[in-house]
Amino acid sequence: MFRVAPSHNAQLSVSGGTEKTQFMFSGAYLDQQAILDQNYYKRLAIRSNIKHKVSDRFTIGLNLGATTIFDRTDGTQGKSDVVSLALQSDPIFRSLTKTAIWVIATPTQSGISICLTMT
């Protein structure tokens, strides 16, 4: 269910300009695998800044940025998800007792388990 989660991050920036005009462009990419198998988080971000000095008293500029995220976070959203249920479960709890009675434990909002017995 769990695994080692590698992460890759790349960034690139370019800047320059003249005495009157300066610019900067940058981009970043993050690819992070989750510790829960089949889940991931990927982010792509770009940014641009341009500044121009029109006169000694007046400067104009433009700052743009965009970010997009692709993710899959199945089983990590609440008390009834895969991770929470795995952490709440006793790893040595048997589903059948010695008298062959089926026991189901259901976590509730208060954290108290309700046991239903079916034969």
Beta strands in 1-119 (DSSP E): 7-17, 21-33, 40-53, 59-72, 102-107, 113-118
The answer to whether residue 105 sits within a structural domain is no
* 88 assigned to some structural domain: no
Q: How many domains does the chain have?
A: 1
Q: What is the CATH number of the domain that holds 59?
A: 2.40.160.220
Q: Over the chain (119 residues), what is each successive 10-residue block's mean pLDDT?
A: 84 95 96 82 94 93 93 66 63 51 45 45
pTM strictly above 0.75: no
Give a yes or no: residue 16 inside a domain.
Answer: yes
Contact 82, 65 (CB under 8 A): no
Question: Is 64 contained in some domain?
Answer: yes
Tell me if 118 is assigned to some domain.
no
Q: Which domain holds residue 60?
A: 7-72
Classify residue 66: in a domain, yes or no: yes
Supply the pLDDT for residue 76.
58
